[in-house]
Amino acid sequence: MKKVNLFDELIREREKTISSDELNTLIKNIWSREDSKKDQIIKSLNKRNNNKYNDLKFDKMESKNIFHQDTIKKICVRYRLRFLDSNLFKGEYPKNITSIIKKLEKKHDTTLSNFMIMAPSKLFKIKSPDDPILFVPIGNNYYYLIHKWGEEFNTLRKLLVLPFKNIDNLTIFSVLVSVVFALLGKLVMPSLTFSEVFILFLFLVKGFIFIFFYMFFLTRRNFNESIWNSKYDSF
């Protein structure tokens, strides 16, 4: 008995409705539309935002991906990040970002625009593998998370940027450093009296506050609470 080759059967059945040339033309048109859609998404990512929000279908949104601006601000301040228009982003998008966006657009029957990105300051200046997150606005200061990529943050980052959260934190940091150095002075010179250690501490506080604040502003830095959504260069 002759064996049936299902692949050949499929081809013969297909050719009853469409020729090979017609199929090739159809495939080319599909790919052309797909490429056009990809180009449109890339243009949207590189386009300046106009403050309009996206109309997503409520029953198809995942609640875990909805974040208010205040929540985003707190995370940006905590880890010294920025939340800016995607057209200012200088890092690299993952290769599948257009597919992810197209899938979401199809799901909500809409065209997404006004993308926002939460990422370290340097990602808005130079290429870096750190951890960016792509959002779109959905109204009333709420944003919908589309995709997160890159490497995870080291938990140590929170401690390293803590002194730069605001002016109070930098002052407290200066005082703590002064305490440490005053205690080290006591260990090195055990003969120092309490009054002498206290005077040394006051001298160190004055010195470290001047040094830290002077270097901070000399290098055009600014506090986390001021830069989280700032488009200016100070970071």
Query: What is this structure's pTM?
Result: 0.60
Q: What's the rounded Cα separation, in Å, for the pair 3 and 158?
A: 67
Residue 104: predicted pLDDT: 92
Q: Count CB-CB contacts under 10 A for residue 235.
A: 17
Non-local (6+) Cβ contacts of 233 within 8 A are: 220
Ranges under pLDDT 70 in the chain: 1-7, 9, 11-14, 21, 23, 26, 28-36, 125-131, 151-154, 218-220, 231-235
Residue 184: predicted pLDDT: 86
Buried b (16+ CB within 10 A) or exposed e, 143-181: bbbbbebbeeeeeebeeebbbbbeeebbbebbeebbeeb
CA-closest candidate to residue 72, choices 10, 141, 8, 172: 141
Residue 108: predicted pLDDT: 92
Residue 125: predicted pLDDT: 64
Non-local (6+) Cβ contacts of 20 within 8 A are: none
With beta carbons less than 8 A apart as the criterion, state whether 79 and 130 touch: no
CA-closest candidate to residue 117, choices 228, 24, 5: 228
Residue 196: predicted pLDDT: 82
Residue 126: predicted pLDDT: 47
**Strand order from edge to edge, sheet including 81-85:** 66-68, 142-148, 133-139, 116-120, 81-85
Write the pLDDT tens digit of every residue in 169-187: 888 888 898 888 888 888 8
Residue 153: predicted pLDDT: 65
